[in-house]
Structure 1
Amino acid sequence: MRLINEQYRSLLRAPRGFSYIGVMVTLVIAAIGMQGAAVMWQQQTQRANEALLLEVGEAYRLAIGRYYESTPQPVKQYPLTLSELTEDKRFPVLKRHLRRVYADPFATKQGMVTIVRDGRIIGVHSQSLQVPIRSTGYQEFQSSFKSAKHYRDWQFIYEPNTLADLEEAWSKR
């Protein structure tokens, strides 16, 4: 009888170990699923930042173009600072080419990096060293973006006499 009691007790203990293993397997499966979800979330966030960078960069390019083309003197000038795009004081009535100075979507604590020629701002670019996801679907004036290795290679530079093309592309977005 005593032998049967001991065998019965050992049988009762066996399922406890099995339940522990079952819980551990379930946790491993949940962790793998969460890791996959995190990767998808990170990629979706990068895609959203990429789209925002294209929008902000083109807004800067367009604002720099409007500033340049509306220069009251015969010799056209680029802005000295980005804040001149938000408040152009060269006219009797304040003119705004840009609503506000936008941050870099990939480095929100910092602004876009300015591209300067002869002491004046001709364009902007991001600081990000991330590799772009998008490889097609760029506008004609963004053709150099196809070969970019990093987001900072996406340079939004205003070329003189292209304002009409930029405004037309901006209105179609």
Structure 2
Amino acid sequence: MMTGFASRRGFSGNQRGVTLLTVLVMVVVIGLTLGMAGTSWRSLMQREREEELLWRGDQYRRAFESYRQINHGGLRRSPERLEDLLRDPRSLQVKRHLRRLYPDPMTGGDWVVVKDPAGGIKGVRSSSNDEPFKKDDFPEEYDTFANRGKYSEWEFSYSSEKNRVGTTQGAGVPTAAGDLPAN
């Protein structure tokens, strides 16, 4: 037969076991909740960077277009370096095609430059291999981005025949530094 001490010890041990099990279940539930919140936060941040990629890429595309529109010495050339978009070296007057060099929002680093056949820069793209959230419903200028599997496949470029992203020559070109979007 059990003594009073043994029976109290068994009851106390069961109570501790139930409390421990309750605490473990609570820790698991809190961990799962935080994990889901972290995933949602990460997705939200990627969506914001994706929107910023579209905006910054469009600024570069417009700058390349503006740079190419200036007929200098009978040639319509592409810039040799991205810094040429900040201050056009072909002219003594200050001509800015881009207010500042924006980093790639997906990586925080430099863009991958896209060269034209003559060796000038005609565009930029991200080096990110992440999968985009946005798969369709792009503006007409970027309809080639539809169903792409990586951000690095989104090329923001300009070519003189027919812009690679679908706009015709001269459309939407800022005419002076004051016409550029503020930032």
TM-score by length of 1: 0.88
Output the aligned Cα RMSD: 2.0
What secondary structure sits across from 1:147 in the alignment? Answer: coil
Runs of 4+ in structure 1 off by over 3 angstroms are none
Q: Which structure is higher in helix share?
A: 1
Equivalent in the alignment of 1:164: 171
Confirm or deny: 8 A CA contact 2:87 2:97 kept in the other structure. yes
Q: Which structure is higher in strand share?
A: 1
Confirm or deny: 8 A CA contact 1:62 1:163 kept in the other structure. no
Equivalences for residues 80-159 of structure 1 within 5 A: 80-108=80-108, 110-117=109-116, 118-159=118-159
The alpha-carbon distance between structure 1 residues 112 and 53, as it changes in their structure 2 partners (threshold 3 A), is: same
TM-score by length of 2: 0.84
Confirm or deny: 8 A CA contact 1:114 1:121 kept in the other structure. yes
The number of equivalent residue pairs is 168
Confirm or deny: 8 A CA contact 2:47 2:133 kept in the other structure. yes
Q: Which amino acid aligns with 2:76?
A: K
- Which is worse superposed, 15-24 or 4-13? 4-13
Q: CA deviation at 1:113?
A: 0.7
Q: CA deviation at 1:166?
A: 6.2
CA distance in 1, matches of 2:86, 2:173: 19
Equivalent in the alignment of 2:3: 3
Confirm or deny: 8 A CA contact 1:81 1:120 kept in the other structure. yes
Q: Which amino acid aligns with 2:114?
A: I
Confirm or deny: 8 A CA contact 1:79 1:121 kept in the other structure. yes
The alpha-carbon distance between structure 1 residues 9 and 23, as it changes in their structure 2 partners (threshold 3 A), is: same
Q: Deviations over 1:81-118 (max 9, x none)?
A: 0000011132222211111111111211x211111011
Identity of counterpart residues, as a percentage? 28
Q: Which amino acid aligns with 2:110?
A: G
Q: CA deviation at 1:165?
A: 4.1
What secondary structure sits across from 1:107 in the alignment? Answer: coil
